[in-house]
Amino acid sequence: MSAARRSLALHGGLIALLFALQFVLPDYHHGNLARIMVLASYAVGYNILFGYTGLLSLGHALFFAAGMYGMGLTIQHLGFTPAPALVAGLVTGIVVSAGLALLALRTSGVAFMIVTLMFAQAGYLTILYFGEYTRGDEGFVIQQAERVLWGIDLSDPTNRYFAALILFAICLMTCLHLVQRPFGKTLVAVRENEERVRMLGYDTFAHKLGAMIVSGTISAAAGAVYGLLFGYVGASFASVQYSIFPLLWVLLGGAGTVLGPFIGTLFMFYLIDFSSGITTAYMLIAGVALVVLTLFAPQGLTGELRRRLWRWLP
C-alpha cells in the first residue's frame, strides 16, 4: 500500500472512530470530545502556518475571535440565522487574515511574531472598546432558539457532537490534501530553506500569503462553530491565552504532522482536567509534563511516532 493510501486510511479511521465513540461515551466525555474536536480544528489551522510553513504567529486568537464575533454579532444585532451567520464569520476570517498577512509578511522572524501579537492585542482591545455591541469581557449568550440550523437544534448534545465532528473531518482532510499537493510541499520547502526556494523561481511571498489565509480561515471557522455550538461569545477568546493554546497543542502533538494538533489538544485538555481534580496548582503539573515531553519527545507525540515507527506519516 502506498504512503498516500496508508495516510488516507489512518486519518479516515480516526474520523470513523470518533463517529463510533458518540454512541458509547458517557455524557461528560461526550461533551468534552465535542469541544476538543472544535479546538483541534483551530489547532489544525495554526499548524498549517507554524508546522508546515515555519511562521510562528502569536496572534492567532485574532482569527478565532474574528470568526466567532463575525458569527455572533450578526445573530445578535442583525437577526441572522445560523447558516448566513456562519458564512459571515468565515468571510470575516478571510478578510482579517488576508489583511494581516499583507502587513505581517513584510517582516520575518521575531518581527513577525511581534506584529501578529500586536494586531491580536489590537483586536482584543477593540472588542473591549466597543463593549456596547460586544458586551466586552462579559460577552453574550446565543440563545437556544437562535442555534437551530436547518431544523437541527445544535444545543442538543448529539447534534452538537456530530456538528463538531463534521467540522473536524473537513479541516483534517483539507490539511491532509493540502500537504500532499505541490503547494503544501512548497510550504515545507519554504520552512526548511526559503532562500533556496526563492532561487529556484518560486514566489515565496505568494505561498506564505496563501498559507496564512488558509490558516486564518480554518481558525475563523473553528471560532464561529465554537460560538454557535456552545452558545457563548466572549472577549477571552481574543486574548493572548488563546494565541498560546494552539502553539502548545501543536508542539505537544507534533508540529508539521496532520494528526499532531488533535493529539496535542486531546492530551492537554485531559491533562489539565485530570490535574485540576488533584490540586488547585494544576498548571504546575501541566507545566512539569510539558517540560518532560519537550526533553524526551522534542518532535511532539506524533512527530516521535513518525521518527521512530511510521516515517510515511504526513
pLDDT tens for 97-137 read 999 999 999 998 899 999 999 999 999 999 999 988 998 88
Nearest residue to 271 via CA among 255, 256, 254, 293: 293
**CA 135 – CA 132 distance, rounded (Å):** 6
Residue 226: C-alpha distances to residues 176, 245, 306, 309 (Å):
22, 15, 31, 35
CB burial readout 21-44, b (16+ within 10 A) else e: eeeebeeeebebbbbbbbbbbbbb
Q: Which residue has the higher pLDDT, 136 or 158?
A: 158
Q: What is the pLDDT of residue 308?
A: 78
List the grid coordinates of 151: 431544523
Q: What is the pLDDT of residue 131?
A: 87
The single-letter code of the amino acid at 251 is: L
The pLDDT tens digits of the residues spanning 22-41 come to 999 998 889 999 999 999 99
Question: Average pLDDT, stretch 232-248?
Answer: 92
Helices (H) and strands (E) in the chain, counts: 13, 4
Q: What is the pLDDT of residue 1?
A: 62
**CA 193 – CA 238 distance, rounded (Å):** 32
HSE, side-chain direction, 13 A CA sphere, residue 6: 8
**CA 259 – CA 44 distance, rounded (Å):** 8
Residue 52 CA to chain centroid, in angstroms? 14
Question: Taking a C-beta distance cutoff of 8 angstroms, is the pair 178, 214 a contact?
Answer: yes
Q: Is the pLDDT of residue 217 over 80?
A: yes
In the chain, pLDDT over 90 holds for what percent of residues? 66
Q: Which residue has the higher pLDDT, 295 or 98?
A: 98
Q: Is the pLDDT of residue 310 over 80?
A: no
Angle, alpha carbons 96-139-76 (nearest 5°)? 75
Percent helix, percent strand, percent coil in the chain, to nearest 5: 75, 5, 20
* pLDDT confidence band for 299 (50 / 70 / 90): confident
* pLDDT confidence band for 157 (50 / 70 / 90): very high
Q: What is the pLDDT of residue 81?
A: 92
Sketch the domain layout of the chain as residue ranges: 3-239
Q: Which residue has the higher pLDDT, 247 or 275?
A: 247
The pLDDT tens digits of the residues spanning 64-94 come to 999 999 999 999 999 899 999 999 999 999 9
Question: Average pLDDT, stretch 164-187?
Answer: 94
